[in-house]
A and B are shown apart, each in its own frame.
Chain A
């Protein structure tokens, strides 16, 4: 695994080193050139000065022993310049103490270089033909290089000393800069798998703010998904275990009670409980079948006939529930899977009947618009509390207005069956009276053709929703 900090550190140190190296090279080149210029002009000036002296005093005044005063060479900055004075006919008139006896240059005037006894000399030659004198002033190139090297040494030594210091500084600032990241990482590492609380966004630098906020977003979504999953599991456990607990309790009562009538009552409760549990099992199997998502055969189905058939198979209501089928339903056809439609109609009807223990009216009807076909059933029961409308189709959810026989699966089955049959379920409370209106909606896709585009762009069920709340 790469460490961002280590990588940044090496990049910074190497980059700093390279920049310093380049700067040193530049300074070296620049200094060398400048030193050359300065020393060259010194040679020139010295040569001119000596020439003017020699010319004014005459060559003879410089007459000296050519071999005397030869001192030990030193690479100090003293005795850098050496001078030879020649007559134009090639006789060495005079020379300074460090200068060789051989001529320093062959050229007649200007700058030149020459190697004598292994030492390279830089020489400026000036002559005055009228006074018969030629002056050569030179210095050793070795000395010049030494001079530049000394300058460079003075520069580079502190540089190398400061590099570790700089590296230390970089490391410390990186540590400091990375601290929010390290805190974040530690916080994430410390929490256990179930901890979905958002990361505190207080001290987070803006660079990683997007990451943290999308992380928190993800935490939120996972938390919601988990909660949903847990709710479903809890509902399922409750709906499956409660009947079993009732069954067991009643069985124990039947076994222990000395009272004959109490025993019979308990046995009746057991039969009811077994019936209820078998209904639950049947519903679970239906859901499993619908969940498997097999392609269902679709064909045109006469809804009125299906509703009538379903009502005929159900036991006639003995609680004074009045059922009407609107004549318009007799002319309504939808393209769907017949078996799925039967399932949805039966569950919706049973639902309506079960929630009207005191009797009431159930009305099956339909509406056909260019947007689609809506088949709906209205009851005069208590309806569904608004806050539960979204939840009732969840598996095992049973709201406040529940019936004793229910399992919380009916509307899930309707939803699944309608999905198989190419429709969707919409539930709302009636506004004209107390009761629920359950709609099965087959949407027709908006027409693609451009002449009708405006009309088709409004979903049909919306348009209908504005005017369709009251019964037709």
Chain B
């Protein structure tokens, strides 16, 4: 029983990432997409929170949304996997359900 959580808000604008990470069970998968990709970058105020979450959940970031915001993959925090839309589909299929934190 695993869930794919999708977070599409910047952590500097909304609290949905924090709510998601506080709620997600150990072993859950979290995909950062749209403005949510900002949370995946190094050197931000939420970096420690995100790194701490990596101890219990697996984090992914949508590559095309990083690129659309001028963020290169080398700025992504170690341990977060970059996926494309095909990878997003695979994650949705591999998990039992998909929960969007809108």
Whether A associates with B in a native complex is: no
